[in-house]
Amino acid sequence: MSVAVIECFCMWSDLLGFGDPFQEANWTFSDERALENIERLRDLSNCLYTSAAPLREVALVLNDGLARIYDVQGNAEDAQMFLWWVHSILTNHWQVNAIDRERGRPGLRSLLTFGERVATWKGATTLHEMMQFGGPKPRLENRTCIYSPDEFQLNLAFSKAYTIESIGSKGGLTGPALFIDETALQAVTRVLTDRPINSATVSHAPKVSSCPDPPLGDTAVTFQIVRKTIGNVSLFEVYRAKSGVPEPEALLALELDSSPIHINKRGIVTDVWKVRRYQPIDEPRPFYFDFNDYRFAKSNHVSDVT
C-alpha cells in the first residue's frame, strides 16, 4: 500500500490542573470554580491569533489540550516563515504561562517534537456529503457532522508529542515547562541549513499584524547552528552568515538544561531538553524570555540562570 507522507513538527500543550476545578465543583458549571476553566481556555485560544505562519500552521484546541502542526515542504521550505513560527510557539507558551502565573493557576506544559503524518486522509464530512445530495445545498446540509481533521489523523508527530508529555512529573517532565525533543532540534537544524545551494533569502516578516519587522534586511544568507555547553546550560544558537562567515551575535538562542531527560516509552526512545530561556529574534540584545519564572530577563550571562 502506497501513501503520501509529510514530515511535520508538532507542539502539544497541556493545561495543568484542568480537572481539579471540575472535581471541586462536582462536575457542574453552576459552581464558579468550574467557570475558571472557560477563561483559561480563552487565554489558550487567544494565543493562536499571534501565529506567525497562519497559512502553514493548523491548530487544534480540545478541552485542556492544544496541538499545533507545521508541515515541512522540503526544498521549498520558507526558512524565514519557519523561524517566525518557532518564535511564535515559544512566545505563545511563555505568554499563557505568564498569565496563568499572575492569576495563581497551575500553568501550561508543552512538548515540541518532529515526525510524519499521512497526507491522504479524508477530513470532515458534511451532512450534504453523507446524504449524497445532488441538488442545491440548504444550510443544514452544509453542517459538519463528522470531525476528522486531516492534519491530526494518522499523525505520528502528534502521537509522539502527546505520549512524551503524558509521562509528566513521574518521568522528569515537571511543572509548567517547555520541553523540546532532540529529533525536533535536529529537524530545525536541517530545515535551516538544508537549502538548495545552502542559502535562503531572508526579507521582512510575514505580513501578519502581530509580527514586527525583524532586523534582517533583504539579503541572501546561510544559517549556521551552534550547539555548546557552558556550565549547567546547553545552548542552541541560530546564526546567519554571509560568505560563510557568521555574524557576531546569534539571530536567536535557546538556553536548555545541560543534561536532557531520557525517554523510553512505547517504542519512543529519545532525549528531551527543558528550555530555560529564549533570546528572541525581534528584540534588542540582551533580552530573554525566562521559562523558569515567566518574566523578562536582560542579563546575557548564562551563569545567571538559576
- Which CATH architecture best describes the domain 5-114+154-304? 2-Layer Sandwich (3.30)
Q: What is the pTM of this model?
A: 0.85
* Radius of gyration for the alpha carbons in the chain, expressed in angstroms and rounded: 21
Kindly list the domain boundaries of the chain, sorted by start residue.
Answer: 5-114+154-304
pLDDT in tens, the chain (306 residues): 778 899 999 999 999 999 999 998 899 988 888 888 888 988 888 888 776 677 788 999 988 999 999 999 877 677 888 888 999 999 999 999 999 999 999 999 999 999 999 877 666 556 556 565 555 556 656 667 777 788 888 899 999 999 999 999 999 999 999 999 999 999 999 998 876 333 444 433 444 434 444 444 455 678 899 999 999 999 999 998 877 788 888 999 999 999 999 999 999 999 999 999 999 988 888 899 999 999 998 876 554 444
